Structure 1
């Protein structure tokens, strides 16, 4: 284990998160709120500690996949603990476990909240919650890669550990340039949504925070009803951008390179839009009893399907009250998730495609034992190694889900609440059903259950293995 490089990266994370905290401090100055000073104090302390850890840059080399996984996992833990401190010190969230739950939910773009009345938060805290979505959406280490001159091999190991999806590839030969392109697309789309919401009449603070949450596919709202009180136009704008941020960013890169035909040939993107369209139509029909309700229900359905499938978590209606058929569709979409290489969570559409195609191959092999059938995506053969790791992901995912559900059952909540709470946190969605529905929250769970869901949110955002590797004794031994 190259501990010096890992410590250096953790120090860089501290410096960056400290710099990020100056933004909520600036917001506190605008609104004359005392809360901001706690962000400033934490930022100063974090910056000093981070500079001490990065005082001497380690020599290049000796940084492999193991170090990449460990660096990413520990970075997210450090990011979460530091991010929770000002919320706790300011008294906005008096209990540290609750503050940690809230900010982990923010950074992992989950959007599950312990707050009973979100409107009681200061503008400073509201901004930090929404901004944490934006930081976590693309990943703080990907942001670092775009700025810090790390070696290209180190960058690749970090990108593979932090980016969602079974396959991570370069957009351009240099990894640092790839990270820069990703963040440029991310920032541009965020700004476009802010402008669109401002034109629609949404107040500046709301437009900025809602756009930050949409970009990171997070879901922390600014009012109790999430997005239900916004106009139909504003809801449509948010819907469009939720769908766009759930698309693989390679799609946008190809469009920028004037390769639109290649962009729309990406199989995962086609499946993604097909699932979104079919689910929206089915729920619209299920909700509609007469023709006059059609457009209204279409708006409700498309918004909620986009919110759940992209794991954003905003709501325009209490879908707890929807028919069982519609609720079942939403629960299934919680597991499907968005595209790999997007800011969305869930199992990912690309994995779903691999599961379906590999299952078809196995059935075909049973019928014709001597046949050789290759699993393909985008007309390229998927390696056996990718198929193996994809299936291992599902096995470990199911084990974690079952263990988490067992531990939550100690809280005596009903089965639907527990099941959807784990589905919502492990898939980084936010709202579930019953107690944890869109108009409910997670404040009523015990400390143990909150810690379980904190673990689930982190392991879900990091695609399981980077966090699990911390528990392997061999990782910490010298080579």
Structure 2
């Protein structure tokens, strides 16, 4: 691995994260609150760390093939970028005292950058606007990806940039939308910004202030879930706001490359996308099933409130946003288990959502169909297809390996946190908490449900769940490769 180029790229990413503390710092100065000093100190510390990484990188000489990013370097950058971003981003919480222990500040920041939305802060309404804006910005930066942002403004990364892009963008087969990679990154960020602005305007029309509309738009488009209210979206008591956020959560769970096709007026390609159709079908079927279940039990007196609550939470959890309007942990077992399944399934590849992604289950479904046909017709040549194209064996192997690794990490992490023996952490709470963090959802079930936070967990459990958040955000493999000795050999 060419350590020099990795350190230099990490220094730029650290600088970007630090400079994004300027808006919260300016807002804190405008409000005259005590968090201004915390942001100033954190910004200075981040810039010093960035300078230190850059100077350390200059001591390493480029290899014989030049100073470029290969697969190993990309894995190193992507893996460590999120750790460094979280370590620096945790400083304002810690310096201000919003999180008294650094492990809590790190957990909150990792949750923000990975768009998980799990929180250790009990009373967010008591926090100054600067801290709340920073919480929202960690979502917004992490949603599209700090690395993709770097590619958008640092085109000199050159030939190694594609490896960085593939290691960062969620999904089994990330593709460039334009010939130049930095143009692809700019295009994705353009769509991201347009969706954010559109939602902000619509939320303001629903009565939200500009500040709250911006922060909630950051959390929605990034599928993060951090709110400015303790009761999340339920605090606004507005059906209009709930439907608007539901629509934008659903839109954020769509593969962003489809928006490029939409702008190019390739409507048939968009409507014919199998993953999009299955994603919409899963949402509709799940929401209707839960609404019927709630109406039959009498949880809601009217059809519209039941449909609104079911659609909101189905979309919130399948896109791994984590916003809540109801305590779904009190819903029937059928609804709770279905919501847990949706956390694992996740949204579309190439979206800001987490989870395993719908496309992977589609690939495995096609693989099962192909194997079944081969058993019936041993001499036949069976080709699994999706969107009219043959699915390569590498894609099938990748989908299978991902799900095996997901189950392995999920099982190991659940065992690890139950080993702490906390009396409040029963098996269901531990399991759902791991799934919620590994799929970047946020709230789980039981003691880690929608009305609880993660503050009461032991420090060791928080480190384990922080690792789960990082692994889930980086699609497991990028983190897994960091622990392989072969990734570090020259």
- With normalisation by structure 1, the TM-score equals 0.97
Residue aligned with 1:224, SS: coil
**Greater alpha carbon shift after TM alignment, 55-64 vs 361-370:** 55-64
- Residue 51 of structure 1 deviates from its aligned partner by 3.7
Give the corresponding residue for 2:12: 12
Q: Partner residue of 2:214?
A: 208
Give the match for residue 162 of structure 2: 156
Render the CA deviation track for 1:8-66: whole Å, top value 9, x for unaligned. 11000111011111111112123211112221222123223324544688865442111
Indicate whether 1:49 and 2:49 are aligned: yes
The whole-number CA distance in structure 2 between the counterparts of 1:253 and 1:332 is 30
Distance 2:372 2:434 in 1: 32
Q: 2:456 and 2:49 mapped to 1: Cα distance?
A: 35
CA distance, structure 2, for counterparts of residue 53 and residue 335 of structure 1: 37
Q: What is the match of residue 347 of structure 2?
A: 338
Q: Given the alignment, which residue of 312, 327, 342 partners 1:303?
A: 312
- Give the distance between the partners of 1:45 and 1:100, measured in 2 at CA: 15
- The match for 1:173 is 179
Listed as ranges, the gaps of 5+ residues in structure 2 are none
| CA distance in structure 2 between the aligned counterparts of 1:366 and 1:204, rounded to whole angstroms | 60
Distance in structure 2 (CA, Å) of the matches to 1:7 and 1:346:
30
Cα deviation digits, residues 179-218 of structure 1 (max 9, x gap): 0000000001001000110111111221111100001100
8 A contact 2:136–2:226 mirrored in 1: yes
The Cα of 1:365 is off from its aligned counterpart by 2.0
| 1:88 and 1:95 in contact (8 A); partners too | yes
- CA deviations over 1:399-425 (Å, ceiling 9, x no partner): 111100101112342121111101100
Separation in 2, partners of 1:262, 1:385: 24
Partner of 1:438: 450
Q: What is the alpha-carbon distance in structure 2 between the residues aligned to residue 356 and residue 431 of structure 1?
A: 29
Matched, 1:355 2:364: yes
2-side partners of 1:153 and 1:382: how far apart?
A: 27
Show the counterpart of 1:240: 247
Conserved 8 A contact 1:152-1:174: no
Q: Give, in whole Å, the separation in 2 of the partners of 1:62 and 1:112.
A: 36
Contact 2:318-2:343 at 8 Å conserved across structures: yes
TM-superposed CA distance for 1:329, in Å, is 1.1
Structure-2 residue corresponding to 1:285 = 292
Conservation of the 8 A alpha-carbon contact between 1:217 and 1:242: yes
Shift of the alpha carbon at 1:466? 0.9
Contact 2:90 2:105 in 1 (8 A): yes
> In the alignment, is residue 420 of structure 1 matched against residue 427 of structure 2?
no
* Contact 2:69/2:161, CA 8 A, preserved across alignment: no
**Alignment gaps of 5+ in structure 1:** none
Q: SS of the counterpart of 1:153? A: helix
Partners in 2 of 1:443 and 1:62 — Cα distance?
42
Q: Which moved more, 1:439-448 or 1:408-417?
A: 408-417
d(CA) in 2 for partners of 1:430 and 1:406?
Answer: 19
- Match of 1:346, SS state, is coil
Alignment partner, residue 381 of structure 1: 390
Please list, as runs of the form range in 1=range in 2, the aligned pairs for 1:182-331 lying within 5 A after superposition: 182-230=188-236, 231-289=238-296, 292-331=301-340
Work out whether residues 98 and 121 of structure 2, in 8 Å CA contact, stay in contact via their aligned partners in 1: no
Cα distance per residue 1:429-473 (max 9 Å; x no partner): 001111111111111211111111000000000001111111112
Asked if the contact 1:311/1:337 (under 8 Å) is kept, the reply is yes
Alignment match of 1:401 (pick from 403, 407, 410): 410
Equivalent residue for 1:80, pick from 64, 67, 86: 86
Question: Aligned match of 2:485 in 463, 473, 477?
Answer: 473
How many residue pairs align between the two structures?
Answer: 478
CA RMSD of aligned residues (A): 1.5
